[in-house]
Structure 1
């Protein structure tokens, strides 16, 4: 090897790392090594890591020249190793230094070896969790990750919050045996039997099996009105809600109506200016576009005043919605809502996008009957099922058989590549593989990015992304949504920290509800904070933010068995002056009130909870599907689980076992990584958002997941809870 002076200035070995530099933080030393291929091969087993190879270097090597590598002896990466292991690495570096000779490079390698041998391991950060023991914490993350870690630490010692009972879900052994005989793995057969599945044929979903549009009240009336409007070339305006369900319903409407020849545009309200629904103020804004018809999607059933204003302006209104109506229905030309009085539609769980799909299906049939097209030339609405699946999963409606059929068809489209450019772009920016799409990808990766637009600005960018046909433009919009989602996560993490800080862990046990308010909170994110607090404390929770002046806007989330909208209705009947407006359904609701009424509302809400809810509902419990034998945990079972559509009302199986906790450590300051012993098996596991150490023996509830790392797929247990 040539001396440094003979190799040019670009090849001179670097000086040792200086304190305060990035390399110093990694506690490593860098240099340039020039070697022929065979010499590098001999050095491979030694603790030196070659960096990226350059194309020019490859070309030079092919011509018989030398190749340069940037290498690092990464002392910072061995701090956690036992002293004997560090000693072996130090000896290896010393041997490499002697082999390279007394030149500057050899002396540096030898010096690195001496430093490693003398180096003492870094002391692990002790978080002093309630369960006892220390956890090794990695470097702090910025933004949302740091705030989330603070939230986890703030609540780590709250034993009342984390106490939970694991209850096994009962099942019919005869049904489970019948499913197992049909080829369903036995643990999954037990889980399906417990969910009311009686035969393997119920796991097959064909679009021809969904309920007919004729069963949906006023669906054909709406179709006839819209068919008349299309034939007369009248202008249609879709008024959408500002969440993912509303955005997907709007995109489905735009694509299908344009394919049927309609003159259609859309309007989505800014939640900070107009609030929810078809308000009179929003109708005035819509009127500036001179529509003949307004079609609401995912809203409108409570918009009595807004519809009155539209009627006064001569604008016809067709409402498509799925929310629970109030005592008075709007005077619209047609209302399509499976939850309105007198509607016999068997599935009351359609999302807003599902209702819109039914209206469009009926409209296509009406236009076909009028001779506008035939079976061969009619628009193919099944190409929109990826949007329907996304909106249905995102809105957390119960996945009854009708909804599971729609979602299953949408997932088949996504996996096979029959996908809207916007959804494809969202899969790309979220790092998810569309070819292996599952409901959790839609609910936890794609939907939050779309919802971020409605939470922080307005939903226009989300709708444009879903309705866009240009892949490049769709990717640009998806990146905007991804940036908004990152911002949303940071805001949410700080708000969650504020919320947890304001709750007395001992005092909340005496209450049935939680009401939160902070004047600095973001209106668009309070619903997420309410959801996180509800999950942590198992109490119906409403979080409020200031909407300007004395006005507060709140968003609430409830627990299973406690109907939130009905509870707010009870509050309104008992104290009509407290709530100005409200709406929603069993598990989520929104409301507006004056700040001067907040204290009175808090007590009225608590009183309504005590009067109307069974006390047993407030005890934390998790229903599981029983224990698994170690031999039952394998790829066949996980594959079978992943082929089924799971979601709200048809929960993915959760199993429970007593484990030996063999290893545990903290990753990213907020997740507990584990190695668990079950019989003779060692099983990797992860508990997201949990930082408390576990006892050497623990009863844990878990889901079975595939984890792919560097192209290798393995089974990993995803911990859901620990028994108290």
Structure 2
């Protein structure tokens, strides 16, 4: 049973004399700590400056030589959207500033695993770099940085992941989460860290008169915010005030047609209109297609798509990424069926363990993260899904729920059972890990025990926060449009959700597993289309005349016509 809880506003909305913000939206904003119109404007002038980011000046010292002395820079990225956008942004920015010897290397997850490893350094050496720069990784690469140093190659680490007690002995580290960094936004993604570093580099080059002497126009790096916006949403980092500015400004550029050809092409193959793109399109349309390259093949395809300036060529690459994403969905569906069977064995009529681990020797390493997310959403428990590597070790991808900091939980587990994990790292809500061969059964129990200790009964009880109920007169296209553009919505700044009871006038299954309904608010009013995705076909359609729903007020577009539609996330029959 899902417990529905109304969000509480920490402070009341402070209305101005001429505001055109509806009472419903004022309520929504106030529940998220936004209480004045000024806090909704999200202008570039409100962006945090780079100056307080620890290590940024040392990093700039290294990159100035890349630009002015034409040193060879090798960027080592990651195989997800944040890593791909970070790589593309760094290359685009450095090229705009006159650098010509820029190359990149992204480890194939099946051959090298994550980040700058000693094995990857051996590959990097053949590129003969003067400097290695990591993006979206490196903060845990003690061995990799040491291996590079032994070859005489300094390493500049840019990352945002949480550090361990020991930091790599790099030439410079830029990471807002490293000890002693005063940069206020600890929720910055890897691409944002690179963006700020490029701002600092441009400022230094302006200061020394480089652009004038080189006869190069100083670039407007703000034009790269489409990449930052995509990374921020796809990496599911909290949308604090600074991140909302970055995402909103990136979205505005895409809507205005000022985006890289790759993002435009990915929106096109996903059936999205760029002039009406919102943050959710990054998470559900663009992001999965880019991620598919790193999950199933090689993220170089995604990076090349983001670097491409030829619309026709970018579209060809986007179509390849779309095909990979279709393959990923098929693989995921088979794995999900396996997971359902495992869950049926675990479900003995009692509650699931506080933390759940799943493993199948045939599962695909690149898809276990998605599987862990799906299972977490279904059972509301921290979940780790494992796949078998070629070495016999188990690669795990972990997803958490509110109340459990996943990386900290793994750190505590490692202190108690140091023999089980080869390595681990990540965030509060997601992490990656590697188990020793034969360590799965012991890890399953250890993880369940840690979760039981750290999570209370309220944490394990599934709840949905809503913004109250809507009046019958609120179901208007005007309000739906206002809510659509009032974001950006995302992690830590959730889209408006409402609850209510409705009369069901029509219902049918569409697309094999989605419930399409025609409903009317219990208090009367307009007839409304509603859709609930992935329903339990054993329960729906139902004979119930009324249903309780949690939903979003959305705008449906069909053949140029717009109408109100309810996107239903929770549905229960009134008996």
- Contact preservation (8 Å) 2:7, 2:466: yes
Aligned partner (choices 564, 572, 579) of residue 406 of structure 2: 564
Aligned partner (choices 416, 441, 445) of residue 603 of structure 1: 445
Unaligned runs of 5+ in 2: none
Larger Rg: 1
Which residue does the alignment assign to 1:462?
302
Distance apart, 1:594 and its partner CA: 2.5
Which residue does the alignment assign to 1:214?
51
Q: Secondary structure at the residue paired with 1:684? A: strand
Distance apart, 1:698 and its partner CA: 2.0
Which residue does the alignment assign to 1:683?
528
- Contact preservation (8 Å) 2:517, 2:530: yes
* Shift >6 Å, 4+ stretches: none
Aligned partner (choices 519, 522, 527) of residue 369 of structure 2: 527
Q: CA–CA distance in 2 between the matches of 1:494 and 1:343?
A: 44
Q: CA–CA distance in 1 between the matches of 2:354 and 2:516?
A: 33
Distance apart, 1:221 and its partner CA: 1.5
Aligned partner (choices 284, 292, 295) of residue 452 of structure 1: 292
Aligned partner (choices 499, 508, 526) of residue 656 of structure 1: 499
Distance apart, 1:252 and its partner CA: 0.3
- Contact preservation (8 Å) 2:13, 2:34: no
Q: Secondary structure at the residue paired with 2:285? A: helix
Q: Deviations over 1:613-635 (max 9, x none)?
A: 22210001100000000101112
Q: Secondary structure at the residue paired with 2:469? A: coil
- Contact preservation (8 Å) 1:216, 1:338: yes
Distance apart, 1:506 and its partner CA: 3.7
| TM-score, reference length from structure 1 | 0.76
Distance apart, 1:245 and its partner CA: 0.5
Q: CA–CA distance in 2 between the matches of 1:568 and 1:602?
A: 12
Distance apart, 1:508 and its partner CA: 6.4
Aligned partner (choices 454, 468, 474) of residue 632 of structure 1: 474
Residues 181 and 703 of structure 1, relative CA distance in 2, 3 Å threshold: farther
Matching of residue 536 in structure 1 with residue 378 in structure 2: yes
Q: Deviations over 1:305-340 (max 9, x none)?
A: 000001110111101100000110000011000000
Aligned partner (choices 556, 567, 571) of residue 707 of structure 1: 556
- Contact preservation (8 Å) 1:176, 1:186: no
Residues 179 and 657 of structure 1, relative CA distance in 2, 3 Å threshold: farther
Distance apart, 1:497 and its partner CA: 1.2
Q: CA–CA distance in 2 between the matches of 1:320 and 1:582?
A: 18
Q: Deviations over 1:422-466 (max 9, x none)?
A: 111111111110011100111100010000000001100000000
Q: CA–CA distance in 1 between the matches of 2:63 and 2:268?
A: 36
Q: CA–CA distance in 2 between the matches of 1:675 and 1:417?
A: 36
Q: Secondary structure at the residue paired with 2:527? A: strand
- Contact preservation (8 Å) 2:475, 2:526: no
Which residue does the alignment assign to 1:500?
340
Aligned partner (choices 202, 208, 214) of residue 364 of structure 1: 202
Matching of residue 189 in structure 1 with residue 26 in structure 2: yes
Aligned partner (choices 341, 354, 373) of residue 179 of structure 2: 341
Distance apart, 1:207 and its partner CA: 1.1
Which residue does the alignment assign to 1:716?
565
Q: Deviations over 1:352-385 (max 9, x none)?
A: 0000000000001111111112699201111111
Q: Secondary structure at the residue paired with 1:331? A: coil
Distance apart, 1:516 and its partner CA: 0.4
Aligned partner (choices 133, 140, 150) of residue 295 of structure 1: 133
Instruction: Give RMSD over aligned pairs.
Output: 1.5
Summarize the alignment of residues 556-595 of structure 1 with structure 2, pairs less than 5 Å apart. 556-595=398-437
| TM-score, reference length from structure 2 | 0.95
Which residue does the alignment assign to 2:64?
227
Which residue does the alignment assign to 1:354?
192
Q: CA–CA distance in 1 between the matches of 2:422 and 2:338?
A: 26
Distance apart, 1:507 and its partner CA: 5.2
Matching of residue 396 in structure 1 with residue 236 in structure 2: yes
Unaligned runs of 5+ in 1: 1-162
* Larger deviation, residues 673-682 vs 394-403: 673-682
- Contact preservation (8 Å) 2:383, 2:398: yes
Residues 719 and 181 of structure 1, relative CA distance in 2, 3 Å threshold: farther
Q: How many residues align?
A: 561
Q: Deviations over 1:471-507 (max 9, x none)?
A: 1211111111011001001111111111012112345
- Contact preservation (8 Å) 1:240, 1:247: yes
